[in-house]
Chains A and B, each alone.
Chain A
């Protein structure tokens, strides 16, 4: 019997997807990285964030668009990201999984 292949968010995917969702239309690589850094209390390199964003885009959970070049960025364009409908589904799926596993009960049970 073939195993059902349902894609789930793994590793950094969930925080990155959630950050992109929270930031909305202002979500670019830099702001997503800052949001994830602040949430995880550690510094993550832009290379790691863009790797995850690429993976999310391959899964169809986000879309990207390039902005205009600016002098401050020495002519490098900003890359904007937007969460798609299936990305929102993935976030909800992750939340349901956590709830099903009793994740929210851990804090209450802790001494």
Chain B
């Protein structure tokens, strides 16, 4: 009985350590993948301030995650060592209600949603979209909507198809916005000619 308890303790400790390590690595990855604002010339001052605030929060959360990792490992851990802490290999199993289930490896599901991954949307199309003949608000809405949907399309159909879709949508948006200006242009020309 004693032997089984100690074995369970060891398993539980290993699971907790793996969880803390995965959480630290997730935050570290988020910081590494954070958008480089020098690559986004359209970024507004408000967006830059927001990014700076978010990045600060990520750094603070990573520091807390490192402390937690140290506590669970039972010894001081440096930033360089954090990713190399040995955790017993293989999936960690926990027992609940007599049924074995795989332990959640990287924190809660809702925590993972804020992980930033750089977009693979074609930069040439993004550049062209900056010149859409419409209001600034509409332009922001169109670019944002396309970027969001690009992620869904690339998840469902692959990045190649998604990039083609993005380019086509850029072209179609230009065409429809220019076409919508034709009646106004015609009436302006008519007024100008008849003057």
Query: Bound state CA distance, A34 and B149, in angstroms?
Result: 10
Which residues from chain B contact A78 at a C-beta distance below 8 Å?
141, 144-145
Query: Bound state CA distance, A17 and B42, in angstroms?
Result: 31
Within 8 A of A (CB), among B29-64: 35, 40, 42-44, 46-47, 50-51, 54
Stretch at the interface among A2-10, A41-49, A84-92, A96-104: A41-49
Taking a contact as CB atoms under 8 Å apart, the answer to whether B50 and A69 are in contact is yes
Taking a contact as CB atoms under 8 Å apart, the answer to whether A64 and B176 are in contact is no
What is the distance, in angstroms, from A110's C-beta to the closest C-beta of chain B? 33
Q: Tell me whether A51 is interfacial, beta carbon within 8 Å.
A: yes
Taking a contact as CB atoms under 8 Å apart, the answer to whether B177 and A74 are in contact is no
Question: With contacts A54-B138, A66-B140 known, what are 15 further pairs, Cβ within 8 A?
Answer: A30-B148, A30-B149, A34-B149, A45-B169, A45-B175, A45-B176, A48-B176, A50-B142, A54-B134, A54-B135, A69-B50, A74-B42, A74-B143, A74-B147, A76-B143
Which residues from chain B contact A28 at a C-beta distance below 8 Å?
141, 145
The interface size bin for chain B is: 35 or more
Contacts A46-B173, A71-B35, A71-B116 given: A79-B140 contact, CB under 8 Å? yes
Contact mask B165-180 → A, CB, 8 Å, 1/0? 0000100111111001
Contact mask B134-159 → A, CB, 8 Å, 1/0? 11011011111111110100000000
Taking a contact as CB atoms under 8 Å apart, the answer to whether A75 and B43 are in contact is yes
What is the distance, in angstroms, from A37's C-beta to the closest C-beta of chain B? 10
Q: Tell me whether B119 is interfacial, beta carbon within 8 Å.
A: yes
Query: Bound state CA distance, A77 and B147, in angstroms?
Result: 12
Contact mask A44-76 → B, CB, 8 Å, 1/0? 011110110010000000001010111111111
Q: Tell me whether B132 is interfacial, beta carbon within 8 Å.
A: yes
Taking a contact as CB atoms under 8 Å apart, the answer to whether B146 and A75 are in contact is no
Cross-chain pairs A/B with CB under 8 angstroms, 7 sampled? A30-B144, A30-B148, A48-B176, A50-B134, A50-B177, A71-B54, A74-B40
What is the distance, in angstroms, from B189's C-beta to the closest C-beta of chain A? 20
Contacts A69-B46, A71-B51, A79-B137 given: A46-B35 contact, CB under 8 Å? no
What is the distance, in angstroms, from B174's C-beta to the closest C-beta of chain A? 7
Other-chain residue from B134, B135, B147 in contact with A47 (beta carbon distance below 8 A): B134
